[in-house]
Chains A and B, each alone.
Chain A
Amino acid sequence: MSVELSDRDRARHGGEEGPAAAMSMRILVAMAEVYGAERLLDVSSAHIDGCLYHGDSGLDFAERLVAGGGRVAVPTTLNVGALDLLHPENFRGSPQRAERARRLMSAYEAMGCQPSWTCAPYQAGHRPGLGEQVAWAESNAIVFANSVLGARTNRYGDFIDICAALTGRAPACGLHLDENRRGERVYRLSGLSPRLLASAVLAPVLGYHVGADCGREVPVIVGLPAATDEDFLKALGAAASSSGSVALFHAVGVTPEAPTLEAALHGEAPTAELELTADDLRATADRLSTVPDGEIAAVALGSPHFSLAEFERLVPLVERHAPAARVEFVVCTHRLVLAAIEARGWAELLREAGVRLVVDTCVVVTPILRTVRGALMTSSGKFAHYTQSNTGLEVVYGSLEECVRSAAAGRVWRDPELWGSG
Chain B
Amino acid sequence: MLVPGAAAGAALVLEEPLSLWGGLDPVTGEVIDRRHPQVGETVRDRIVVMPFGRGSSSASSVLLEAVRLRSGPAALLLAEVDGILALGAVVARELYDRAPPVAVVPAEDYGRLETGAVVTLSPRGTVTIETGES
Please give the residue numbers on chain A whose beta carbons come within 8 Å of chain B beta carbons, in ascending order: 23, 26-27, 30-31, 34-36, 49-50, 52, 54-58, 60-61, 64, 137-139, 142, 154-160, 216, 241-245, 290, 364, 385-386, 388-390
A159 (CB) vs chain B CBs: closest residue: B91
In the complex, are the beta carbons of B3 and A57 less than 8 A apart? Answer: no
In the complex, are the beta carbons of A54 and B86 less than 8 A apart? Answer: no
Binary per-residue interface labels of chain B (33-55) against chain A in the complex, 1 for a CB within 8 Å, 0 otherwise: 11000000000000000001111
Interface size on B, residues (CB 8 A): 40
Q: Nearest chain A CB to B122's CB is how many angstroms away?
A: 19
CB<8 Å pairs between A and B, sample of 14: A31-B87, A35-B81, A52-B58, A56-B65, A57-B61, A57-B65, A57-B68, A57-B96, A157-B56, A157-B59, A157-B61, A158-B58, A386-B22, A389-B33
Q: Nearest chain B CB to A344's CB is how many angstroms away?
A: 32
In the complex, are the beta carbons of B26 and A156 less than 8 A apart? Answer: no
B55 touches which of A30, A61, A159, A241 (Cβ 8 Å):
A241
B81 touches which of A34, A156, A364 (Cβ 8 Å):
A34
In the complex, are the beta carbons of A27 and B55 less than 8 A apart? Answer: no
With contacts A35-B81, A154-B83 taken as known, whether A54 is within 8 angstroms of B61 at the C-beta atoms is yes
CA distance A35 to B33 in the complex (A): 28
B80 to chain A: which residues have CB within 8 Å?
216
Interface residue? B126 (CB, 8 A): no
Q: Nearest chain B CB to A246's CB is how many angstroms away?
A: 9
CA distance A155 to B55 in the complex (A): 10
In the complex, are the beta carbons of B86 and A34 less than 8 A apart? Answer: yes
CA distance A390 to B61 in the complex (A): 15
Interface residue? B2 (CB, 8 A): yes
In the complex, are the beta carbons of B94 and A23 less than 8 A apart? Answer: yes
A142 to chain B: which residues have CB within 8 Å?
57
Interface residue? B62 (CB, 8 A): yes
CA distance A55 to B70 in the complex (A): 13
- Can you name 20 extra interface pairs (CB under 8 A) apart from A159-B60, A385-B55? A27-B90, A27-B94, A30-B90, A34-B2, A57-B61, A57-B64, A57-B68, A58-B61, A58-B65, A60-B95, A155-B57, A158-B61, A159-B61, A159-B87, A159-B88, A160-B83, A243-B54, A245-B54, A389-B22, A389-B34
A157 touches which of B3, B17, B23, B84 (Cβ 8 Å):
B84
Interface residue? B14 (CB, 8 A): no
CA distance A155 to B3 in the complex (A): 18
A244 to chain B: which residues have CB within 8 Å?
17, 54-55
B53 (CB) vs chain A CBs: closest residue: A245
B33 (CB) vs chain A CBs: closest residue: A389
Interface residue? B129 (CB, 8 A): no
Q: Nearest chain A CB to B64's CB is how many angstroms away?
A: 4
A241 (CB) vs chain B CBs: closest residue: B55
A158 to chain B: which residues have CB within 8 Å?
57-58, 60-61, 64, 87
Q: Nearest chain A CB to B26's CB is how many angstroms away?
A: 6
Q: Nearest chain A CB to B89's CB is how many angstroms away?
A: 9
B17 (CB) vs chain A CBs: closest residue: A245
In the complex, are the beta carbons of B32 and A389 less than 8 A apart? Answer: yes
A23 to chain B: which residues have CB within 8 Å?
94
A26 to chain B: which residues have CB within 8 Å?
94
In the complex, are the beta carbons of B94 and A138 less than 8 A apart? Answer: no
A49 (CB) vs chain B CBs: closest residue: B57
B69 to chain A: which residues have CB within 8 Å?
55
With contacts A158-B58, A242-B55 taken as known, whether A55 is within 8 angstroms of B26 at the C-beta atoms is yes
B67 (CB) vs chain A CBs: closest residue: A57
Q: Nearest chain A CB to B72's CB is how many angstroms away?
A: 11
